[in-house]
A = this chain, B = another copy of it.
């Protein structure tokens, strides 16, 4: 595999600027019309340029009735000449503006995030909402990103993780719907509950004759995750004594490494339950390298139900979460909070979406 080579070679073929001498600071902005202010044109500028009043400009710009074709054209021409763009603030102040939804994801590079975002975006678009996105895994200053989101939007939905209490405090009165909350629910939340799915899975393992399952877990505390503990419980109740390995991050690399070690140490392993699909993909890779057949020798199961799981061979059996349902419940909750059903100091409110066993080829 090639190393991280420098990929960039950028050629600039900038047709417009950069050729002539540098203009003095006061002329830094190309003046479109002599004598015009350098800042953005306002409705006022257009009105005086076209020789009409401000509300005539409004009529022309917004295609309203009650304006003659000729004045309309004159106004539009003036607007175009001035590069006029109505201010979203001026307009929003009087119209109320579009509803805006702030979506917090943890890392867009983790394939789970875009699948969730797609679900939220689709639903939001259908309702005429705009969506502002913040990635707290990517942003250097995630505090600022979250705060900005709160200021620019009507409601915030997303993965707040361990810092939820702090961020919710910072967000103040903004309605917040946490997705898959880690701790206590302060405002609104959509829980994603694997309990039943794990029971289904455990039954499936028994049914298919698995004898020595292993759990490849992940958590940043070093101790098993709650999901991992549920898996362990479900297996123990069925008479299994599974090993549990805990990685400090749920990446495919960690999944591969832990699976490789498990295969080496416990020759009789015949099933691996991974914390999520990404780790399970790593497990599949490790099996391949070790010459272990999946699902013949070892069954492999992930959690999340990513589309990604259908692109590999064998395709990945998984505890799937219906992200459209998560998005639906989240927006529904958010709308309710916005309407005042659960004010700031009101009781927390939550919904639950359950994982479901999605049998594909790997188990």
A interface with B by C-beta (< 8 Å): 1-2, 5, 7-17, 28-30, 32, 38, 80, 83-93, 97-98, 100, 107-109, 111, 113-115, 117-118, 121-122, 125-126, 128, 130-135, 138-141, 144-145, 148-149, 151-152, 172-174, 252, 281-282, 284-285, 288-289, 305, 307-308, 310-313, 315, 320-322, 324-325, 329, 336, 339-344, 346-354, 356, 358-361
Residues on B with beta carbons closer than 8 Å to the beta carbon of A12: 351-352
> How far is A168 from B134 in the complex, measured between Cα atoms in Å?
26
Cross-interface CB contact of A131 among B132, B339, B348, cutoff 8 Å = B132
User: What are the residues of chain B within 8 A of A135 when measuring CB–CB?
Assistant: 118, 121-122, 125
Given contacts A30-B341, A140-B125, A313-B285, contact A16 B347 (CB under 8 A): yes
Apart from the given pairs A85-B174, A281-B311, A308-B308, 7 other A-B contacts in the complex at a CB distance below 8 Å = A7-B321, A15-B349, A85-B173, A90-B93, A111-B308, A125-B138, A312-B312
- Cβ–Cβ < 8 Å partners of A346 in chain B: 16, 30
B89, B111, B134, B152: the one contacting A114 at CB < 8 Å is: B111
Ranked nearest first, the 10 interchain pairs of A and B with the lowest CB-CB distance are: A7-B322, A114-B114, A89-B92, A29-B340, A108-B118, A125-B139, A89-B93, A8-B325, A17-B341, A8-B322
